[in-house]
Each structure stands twice: as structure tokens, then as C-alpha cells.
Structure 1
């Protein structure tokens, strides 16, 4: 009976097929209470952000998500800061914003019906549950708002609009790009436009950016529906539009034009109060020229 050699055979390593060589790395299975394994490898491709993926995106199967704290609370969701990093490759890490939708028992967003006109729920079981406001219906409602924002983020990204890059959706949680700006050399969350006092030149630039973004949306038949200085971040000299779950179809929603006029009013009121001569009716008329 033959036995395997007790010593390496000269030249055996040289003959090894490189395709069978595995770079094995051991990960610590124990995670802290504020950590979880990255869900990126487990979700379906359609639940991941649009390609090409940005260079900063961490897709390692061994990555860990660490919750850093709450960023803001909202009417229908809370936003947290989450760092995704591979413990064995610490140079590749990224901080993202995690928006987590609450169920209808824990939301204060009471105008949902006007935004959802013209939308449909695919499964009849889910539609019945929504009408009954059952436990399942509340979960469906939370998931529908998350799915709505995910869809809007993808569409707006496709249009080249200034929005956070959508990383992934998993249930009622959306991970997206954290919009920051440097303060004393360290990144900090970009302030809302309402918190800023821009100089005249920057103020005019901000208005042009918003006007162009609104025009692009209208050309695509979309209306933000809840645009205000509180739903826009000022990252240095550029603006980023956030909070998109209520985006409506300009013509498919019976109140689409009303939502557009309200967005124009909110924007122009803020800029006019800071010395810029703008008028919501003029802006509305200009946007409508792009619509049809």
C-alpha cells in the first residue's frame, strides 16, 4: 500500500494551479452590541445601488456595520450614522447614512394619502392589510415608503440630480451616501440649507442649483412634493436634495401641480427672505414650460 510522502515533493509547489490557491483570512465572530455583519452580500442585486458603484463603496463579505449614533429624527423615519469597514482591511471604510422607516403606529406623517394617490400595491393581500391597518398592514406601509424612496433615489440618480448615492435597501432601511463637509479638517454632516446664511453670490448660486434640479425633475414628470430649506443640505458650495419618499408623478397624481407650486413657494419664500428677488409664480411658470 502506498502512503503520501512525509516530506514535500521538490517542485510540487511550482506545479500548483494558482486558481486553486485560497487567500484564507479569519474573522472574529464576536461583534459588539452596536455592530452587525454587512448585509451587502446577502441582498438581491436590485436592492443594491446603481452601477457604476462609487470607489468609496465597501462590498467586502467580511465587512462589519458599526452604528455611530443617531443623525436626525423625522416625521416618518430616523437617520443614523453607520460605518462599514472590513476589520482586516481598515483602510477601506466608509460612513453612511442609514434611514430607517417606522411603522404607522410610530409615525407622525399624516398626509400620506395625498402623496400616494396614483400609486398601487401589487399584492391584493397587502392592499387589504393596508385598508384594515392590521399589524401586517403597518409593516407593508413602512416598507412601501422605504421602497418609494429607494425608487425615487434611483430615478433621480439616473437623471443626474444632486441627491445622496443610494447604497442599498434592506426591508425598511435604506443605506445612502453621507453628505458631509470638512470642518477644521474633519468631516461633519452638512447643514440643512435653513441653517445657513450664505453670502449674496453663494445665495444666488444655491437658487440656480435648486431651479435647475426642479426643472430636471419636472422634465421627467416628477415633483419632490415636500421641498423646503429643511430638505436640502448645503455641502460647501453645492446643494444636495434629500427626503424623497413622497415624490409624486406630476400628471399621475391629481395634486401634482399643487405640490409643485408649494415646492416653488417654499423655496422662493426662503430665498426672498434672505434678499434674493425671486417669485414663486415666475418659477412655477418657468417649470411648467419644461413639463409639456
Structure 2
């Protein structure tokens, strides 16, 4: 196929050998399947800010640190240099977040670098070697839905444990291969500690996932994983070892916070006991 303009420099530099086909085009980027030596990978070509349709980007940028004073001032003024710096931060956020999530035990595509607005990373495939489908295109059994949902909640906990919220998690930003869900699309990742919208985005991410999986496993409808995860996060006790119950009790008065956390901890202890009994039984 015709080589996209943004990928041509990568071919000139020997980073990419050939562009095989377009995989998909989304609100923030177009993704191509590319040949890199003897490996088949994907190249995510970010769209220019003026052509991106990603809404409310300012909400996601809040809390992102800019160490260079000149860059910060230029971004604040909205100059050409400032816009270029903003774009670089937007793209680098995805690369940095991919590495952090992988280290935290979250399944994401392995990145190989971002070159001039083109991110090279692993192509996630199904068991026949074709590009893995998005979650939105997959039909699940009830048991599969419950298993995948539990895995996604574990990923949300692991992401938040390293201080990051996906920010746009949905059935369209999750791929499914033979091992289960793989999270993609991370340039809008949110700093949980520095963004005033962090809780809102965390709850939205979790609710999106729960709502989708509940069409296959209706029992998920009554769960409240988002509120439970955020409550534990606020105590400073959230970690990749956290066991969730999906239960949460709203506080009628501020003074009841301790009682709510006690109920969550009690439910978690019950779940741990149940898992231990199951293990011993096996």
C-alpha cells in the first residue's frame, strides 16, 4: 500500500521496512500493520490536535507536570511552540504509561518507541495470528464475562496502585486474545493524585466495563467496584494485592467513613476466607 507520510521517515531510517495495511482509524490516531525486520508490529500514527476529535482534552491534561519553564509558559500562551510541546507530552504519555502498566502487571502492547508522532508497538493477535478483536466485537459466556471482568478490575487496581487512571476505558479500548483482555489507547491517562477529575474518571472507567460485561453476566449490575476501589485508594492501602468484593455502602454523614471502610474490610476478609476454602477444597 502507499506509505503514509508520517511513516516514511521511519522507513528511511530503517525502523520500519514496510507498511502492510491499515488496521483501524480512530478519534486520535490511525493504526497500521507494519513489517519491522522479521517482526509484524503496529504503528500508531497520532493525528494532529486540530484533526483530533478527542473531547475535553483539558480535563486529562490537568496535573501533568512540565519541568521546562519555557515550555510551560508557551503551552499556557498557546503559541505554536507551546502546541508542539503539548502534542509531544500527549504522545509521550502513552509510551510512559505503557511501560508503567506492564511493570505493574497490566497486559498492554509492548512499546518500541515513539518517533515523530508514530508509536511502534506489538501487534496483539488472536490464536490464528490475525489482529485481535476489540472487546466490543466479542461474544462471551457468563463464566468468561465474570472472569474477564474480574481481570479488568484487577488491572484497574494495578493501574491506580501506580497512580494512574486510564481515563477512557471502554469496550472499544480493550482487545481480546486467547489469554484474555489487553488494554490499549493510553494518551489520555490521568494522574490520580494531581487531577481533580480523577475520581469521576475512575468511576466512569469501572462502570463502563461493568456495564458491558453485565450483558453477559447480569449479576454484575449490582456491584460497586468503582466506589470500593476509590475508597481503598483514599486510605493509602490500595495495592496489587488488594482483594475486591464489589460491595460498597454509601455514607449518609461524613462521620460514617470509618464504618464504611470497616464494612469493606470485613467483606474483603470474607472473600479471602472463601478463596482459601476453595483452594483447600481443590
Check conservation: 1:65, 1:84, Cα contact below 8 A. Answer: yes
Deviates more, 1:236-245 or 1:129-138: 129-138
Superposed counterparts of 1:1-292, under 5 Å: 64-85=16-37, 93-183=38-128, 187-279=129-221, 282-291=224-233, 292=236
- Counterparts in 2 of 1:256 and 1:103: CA distance versus 1, 3 Å: same
Bigger helix share: 2
Q: Deviations over 1:249-268 (max 9, x none)?
A: 22211110000011111111
For each residue in 1:56-105, what CA deviation from the matched residue of structure 2 results, as whole angstroms up to 9, or x when unmatched? xxxxxx775211121111212111111111xxxxxxx1111111212211
TM-score, length-scaled by structure 2: 0.74
* Matching residue of 2:256: none
Summarize the Cα distance change of 1:259–1:212 in structure 2 as closer, same or farther, 3 Å threshold: same
Structure 2 CA distance for partners of 1:279 and 1:223, relative to 1, 3 Å: farther
Deviation at 1:277, TM superposition (A): 1.4
Closer/same/farther in 2, CA of residues 285 and 105 from structure 1, 3 Å limit: closer
**Helix, strand or coil at the partner of 2:17:** strand
Q: Could you list the runs of 5+ residues in structure 2 that have no partner in the other structure?
A: 237-282
Partner of 1:50: none
TM-score, normalisation: structure 1: 0.72
CA shift, 1:245, in A, is 0.9
What CA distance in whole angstroms lies between the structure 1 residues aligned with 2:222 and 2:203? Answer: 7
- The structure richer in strand per residue is 1
Contact residue 222 and residue 248 of structure 1 kept, 8 A: yes
Larger Rg: 1
Shift of 1:241: 0.3
